Structure 1
């Protein structure tokens, strides 16, 4: 069975591997464990995910409970097919690197649409936010009780490692922009000068070809 794109589906299956639960308990358990920092979570989508898994016979309704004046809640359990799918999907996600298509990577690929100086200012703000997040994580680690199991922090440690790598990347990019070390910046800056002077996109591109010639003919 094809692995779902939504990691919340896998989270539901792993929760039901622990014990049968109703969706509200799933949501509160994920939030109590701070999983919303690693998995996109909202209560409405959780119900839709559970229903999708039920239709695929990966989970099944076990019983319906009512507590006082609260609405009825359906408790779900993992099916045998669900347990098999959970192990297969989790194994695949741990084993096989896959493209993540992050917003930042997309923005970097399209960065030429804003002027270099504006991009530099925005990257400085991003760097500041990254450092704040890293410092906050250091604070969390510093206040963990002695002997706290590392297993329960493994996704946070991964996120911090990725964050530190991004900090190093952005620091270098900022430095390259500040010191005109980023190849092609002169074309980038000139394009925005031409657009600011009132040239259309077609006119600006024609002038860039005239001024920079072979620099614009690279095939990647």
Structure 2
């Protein structure tokens, strides 16, 4: 089962629909609410693009103008609400995201797939630095989670908890990879060193070029 193609694919659009399912809001209020709930670590919030997202949602019939407020000399504020079509799209999109493991192509995976272009010793230094940065981020987000946990039910911070687990898992994998480089047990290590010593791809690697890659 694969994820459906959608008229809108920006995750911020989904976050907007979820908030508007609670009550009509002005775009600025949407951004403020997401930040107050600590969602900026899970949803990329850009105030300028938020207006564009709301306009696109309106264009596709997922949100509509619910009211126009005016207080004193302040500019009019347009409040948007979720339509029936938007409510259906929100629930369907959420079900898809929860159930279907989408291929996301993280940048670190891209770098790992091309890692042999760098010398072994440089990769060791770079990965050691990455682990240090992951440990710092893990400590910072742990502090945030502890703070949020004082006032919010765990249900409301599970995405932050998940982030911490993913950071820890990545750091553990990198440490294991570095150990294999250090003790020489990483297969392909000799060819990697040979590539950078001679500038020529090892013969056994050239033979692999002619083989069909395994299918996922």
Fold-level match, TM-score > 0.5? yes
Name the residue aligned to 1:17.
21
Normalized against structure 2, the TM-score is what?
A: 0.87
Describe the SS at the equivalent of 2:187. Answer: coil
- Say if 2:144 is the partner of 1:140: yes
Mark the CA change 1:10 to 1:145 in structure 2 (over 3 Å): closer, same or farther. Answer: closer
User: Which of 115, 132, 136 is matched with 2:119 structurally?
Assistant: 115
Query: Which structure 1 residue ranges, 4+ long, deviate > 3 Å from structure 2?
Result: 1-4, 66-71, 140-148
Mark the CA change 1:50 to 1:146 in structure 2 (over 3 Å): closer, same or farther. Answer: closer
For structure 2, list consecutive stretches of 5 or more residues without a partner in the other structure.
none
Aligned equivalents of 2:96, 2:20: Cα separation in 1: 19
Mark the CA change 1:105 to 1:43 in structure 2 (over 3 Å): closer, same or farther. Answer: same
- Say if 2:53 is the partner of 1:63: no
User: Which of 18, 43, 47 is matched with 1:39 structurally?
Assistant: 43
Normalized against structure 1, the TM-score is what?
A: 0.86
Whether the 8 Å contact between 2:70 and 2:76 is mirrored in structure 1 is yes
Name the residue aligned to 1:27.
31
Q: Once the two structures are superposed, what CA deviation does each residue of 1:133-173 show, in whole Å capped at 9, x if it has no partner?
A: 22223333444565841111111111111112111111101
Aligned equivalents of 1:133, 1:32: Cα separation in 2: 20
Q: Once the two structures are superposed, what CA deviation does each residue of 1:52-96 show, in whole Å capped at 9, x if it has no partner?
A: 110000000122223445433211000000001101100111111
Aligned residues between the structures: 206
Aligned equivalents of 1:71, 1:123: Cα separation in 2: 51
- Say if 2:97 is the partner of 1:90: no
Aligned equivalents of 1:144, 1:138: Cα separation in 2: 10
By how many angstroms is 1:181 displaced? Answer: 1.9
For structure 1, list consecutive stretches of 5 or more residues without a partner in the other structure.
196-203
Further displaced range: 160-169 or 131-140: 131-140
Structural RMSD (CA): 1.9
Aligned equivalents of 1:187, 1:45: Cα separation in 2: 47
Aligned equivalents of 1:145, 1:94: Cα separation in 2: 23
Name the residue aligned to 1:154.
158
Mark the CA change 1:88 to 1:142 in structure 2 (over 3 Å): closer, same or farther. Answer: closer
User: Which of 192, 201, 207 is matched with 1:217 structurally?
Assistant: 207
Aligned equivalents of 1:25, 1:132: Cα separation in 2: 32
Name the residue aligned to 2:196.
192
Aligned equivalents of 2:30, 2:205: Cα separation in 1: 56
Mark the CA change 1:143 to 1:54 in structure 2 (over 3 Å): closer, same or farther. Answer: closer
Describe the SS at the equivalent of 2:21. Answer: helix
